[in-house]
Amino acid sequence: MKKVLIYLIIWLFIPLFSHAQTVVRDDFETNKLGWNEVVSKQYSAIIQDGKMHLETKEGGAAIARCFAPIDPQKPFEIKAKLNDTKINDEERGIGIIFNYRDNKNFDAFVISKNTAEFQEYTNGQLTGFCQQDIKYFKKYKDHELVIKYSFQKVVFYVNDINALEMRDIKLQYTGFGLYVWSKDDKQIADFDWIEFKQ
């Protein structure tokens, strides 16, 4: 009888443990997620002073990437904190890359001074795009970017405000990146930490 009772208790508690969330936080003090670091004349993506520092110098894009500790087909949340990051106009921006397979196949959530954008790239071509005004972005000195994914719906938040929502998005890859771009001048972003939750 005692064995039956013990098995019954275990059987009842298994669902509770199977739905426990896993949280992985990287504060860039170490490179535990294996971020790539790049330095060139045009751009840089390096870990320095406990931050991921991305910078474009003469236009173009800088990307730091890793493989996220998540299953892209199950609900997840990714949160990144930027320190003292300014975007002066619509010709430059910062973002988060996800569903990254390689440099020509990925999705991105990008913000500029007044807009939030979803971008989908397939074989190097822009194959999906959506834009939303975010006039409130310029009020903040530090920024928190969040991606929430569940049941083929991706919701993007900037500073706790729903910036953009996309549906029927099928994710396949665990590649993930931090991103800055500018049309013809400098853009800097310092990511203080990043957190993956599933």
In tens digits, the chain (198 residues) has pLDDT values of 555 445 545 554 544 445 578 999 999 988 889 999 999 989 999 999 999 999 998 888 999 999 999 999 999 999 999 998 888 788 899 999 999 999 899 999 999 888 999 999 999 999 999 999 987 555 667 889 999 999 999 999 998 889 999 999 999 999 999 999 998 888 999 999 999 999
Domain-by-domain residue ranges, the chain? Answer: 21-197
Across 1-29, b (16+ Cβ under 10 Å) vs e yields: eeeeeeeeeeeeeeeeeeeeeeeeebebe
Q: Maximum Cα–Cα distance for the chain, whole Å?
A: 76
**Global pTM?**
0.83
pLDDT for residue 87: 83
Q: Which of 45, 89, 111, 107 is nearest to 183 (CA)?
A: 89
Q: Which fold has domain 21-197?
A: Jelly Rolls (2.60.120)
